């Protein structure tokens, strides 16, 4: 994505993507100590929300915790299903850009009515129903989003949960300037025309990758940005039978593929299906690869930025007005 070309900057979606590195630089992890303090004493931590406010922020936090011995490992669930669980001993953190997401507000009101005292939230707008139902609320610095597809808010929500978790674990927050710089670099990487053309012309776009929120979030964004049917293939699911319904008209994007499984993916998807397959990774792979900067602490963020870059190019190649979906709404299910 060219950061100055009017071809891109005329869209609110692209402008908000390009604002994200500066939002990252302004982020203050210390502000989230109060949410971490609220969560202390709970037996477990639930991260909830809907759509983009849950997928990347919560799942990135869980994957990071599982990779670090001794960390607090959160769990996540959509807010409506979470109503079925006994959360009386949990600390519950909810993310909603609007603060008006019906499912999340309903969960928090239900828990508050039962006497729950550890309800924390992050929102981008003050004076909302979610804030009223929370014990502690922090306002994100990203500001209002005009594009339907959430972007900058997703990254700040993820950093919020990262700040809470590092505070609970007594760990240092990683160097934000390094992460923001790598994020900006990934947004501006030139995307090969063959990649965007294959996506624009595909029947279905599949994303395959770890259960860390990146590939799943990009799958959702494909619906909103490229307006194509899409599917998320978790882990190595791409080698376990899904090829039966794939065709040569499909595109598969591997997000940081497992090196030991690349040969199998090639056999199943390229040799077996003749699908178009390429990767986003910080190294060369067996497939055509969009190379991103290698930043260990910020890897998932950088991969997400590269994925946004790719989706924008595919949408523009397909001739889509990135800011004008026909049916999708900014707040998917808004409280009355």
List of domains in the chain = 6-173 (3.40.50.10490), 179-317 (3.40.50.10490)
Give the residue among 123, 126, 69 at the shortest CA–CA distance from 96. Answer: 123
Q: Identify the pLDDT of residue 333.
A: 72
**What are the residues whose beta carbons fall under 8 Å from the beta carbon of 118, sequence distance 6 or more?**
38, 39, 41, 42, 90, 91, 92, 135
Q: Residue range 163-181: average pLDDT? A: 97
- Average model confidence (pLDDT) across the chain: 95
User: Is residue 322 predicted with pLDDT exceeding 60?
Assistant: yes
Tell me the backbone φ, ψ of residue 39, rounded to 5 degrees: -80, -15
- Tracing tokens 């998917």 back to the chain, one arrives at 332
Question: Where does the pLDDT of residue 3 fall: very low under 50, low under 70, confident under 90, or very high at 90 and above?
Answer: confident
Cβ-based burial of 133 (10 A; exposed 0-12, middle 13-18, buried ≥19): buried
Encode pLDDT of 48-99 as tens digits. Answer: 999 999 999 999 999 999 999 999 999 999 999 999 999 999 999 999 999 9
**Burial per residue of 36-47, b for 16 or more beta-carbon CB atoms within 10 angstroms, e otherwise:** bebbeebeebbb
> Within 10 A of 237 (CB to CB), how many other CB atoms are there?
13
Q: Identify the pLDDT of residue 153.
A: 96
> Within 10 A of 210 (CB to CB), how many other CB atoms are there?
19
Encode pLDDT of 20-52 as tens digits. Answer: 999 999 999 999 999 999 999 999 999 999 999
Q: Which tokens belong to 165?
A: 């978790």
Of 56 and 331, the one with more pLDDT: 56
Q: Where are the beta strands (DSSP E) in the chain?
A: 44-49, 75-78, 90-95, 119-123, 136-139, 205-209, 230-234, 251-255, 276-281, 289-291
Q: Identify the pLDDT of residue 329.
A: 55
Encode pLDDT of 191-226 as tens digits. Answer: 999 999 999 999 999 999 999 999 999 999 999 999
* SS3 (DSSP) at 203: coil
Encode pLDDT of 259-281 as tens digits. Answer: 999 999 999 999 999 999 999 99
User: Is residue 331 predicted with pLDDT exceeding 70?
Assistant: no
Q: Identify the pLDDT of residue 336.
A: 72
């Amino acid at each position: 994505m060219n950061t100055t070309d009017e071809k891109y900057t005329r869209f609110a979606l692209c402008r908000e993507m390009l604002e994200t590195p500066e939002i990252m630089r302004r982020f203050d992890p210390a502000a989230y100590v109060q949410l971490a303090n609220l969560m202390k004493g709970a037996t477990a931590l639930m991260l909830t929300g809907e759509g983009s406010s849950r997928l990347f922020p919560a799942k990135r936090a869980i994957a990071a915790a599982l990779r670090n011995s001794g960390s607090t490992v959160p769990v996540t669930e959509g807010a409506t299903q979470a109503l079925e669980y006994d959360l009386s001993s949990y600390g519950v953190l909810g993310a909603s850009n609007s603060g008006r997401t019906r499912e999340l507000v309903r969960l928090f009101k239900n828990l508050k009515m039962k006497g729950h005292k550890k309800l924390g939230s992050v929102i981008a707008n003050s004076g909302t129903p979610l804030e009223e139902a929370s014990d502690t609320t922090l306002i994100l610095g990203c500001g209002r989003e005009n594009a339907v597809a959430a972007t900058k808010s997703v990254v700040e929500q993820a950093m919020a949960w990262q700040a809470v978790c590092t505070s609970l674990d007594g760990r240092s927050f990683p160097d934000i300037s390094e992460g923001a710089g790598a994020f900006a670099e990934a947004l501006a990487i030139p995307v090969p025309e063959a990649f965007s053309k294959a996506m624009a012309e595909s029947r279905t776009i599949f994303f395959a990758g770890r259960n860390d929120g990146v590939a799943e979030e990009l799958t959702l964004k494909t619906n909103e940005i490229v307006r194509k049917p899409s599917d998320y293939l978790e882990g190595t699911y791409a080698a376990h039978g899904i090829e039966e319904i794939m065709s040569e008209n499909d595109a598969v994007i591997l997000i940081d593929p497992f090196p030991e499984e690349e040969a199998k993916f090639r056999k199943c998807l390229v040799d077996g299906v003749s699908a178009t397959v390429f990767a986003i990774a910080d190294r060369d792979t067996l497939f055509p690869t969009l190379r991103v900067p290698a930043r260990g602490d910020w890897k998932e963020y950088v991969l997400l930025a590269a994925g946004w870059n790719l989706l924008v190019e595919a949408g523009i190649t397909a001739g889509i007005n990135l800011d004008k979906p026909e049916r999708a709404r900014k707040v998917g299910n808004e409280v009355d």
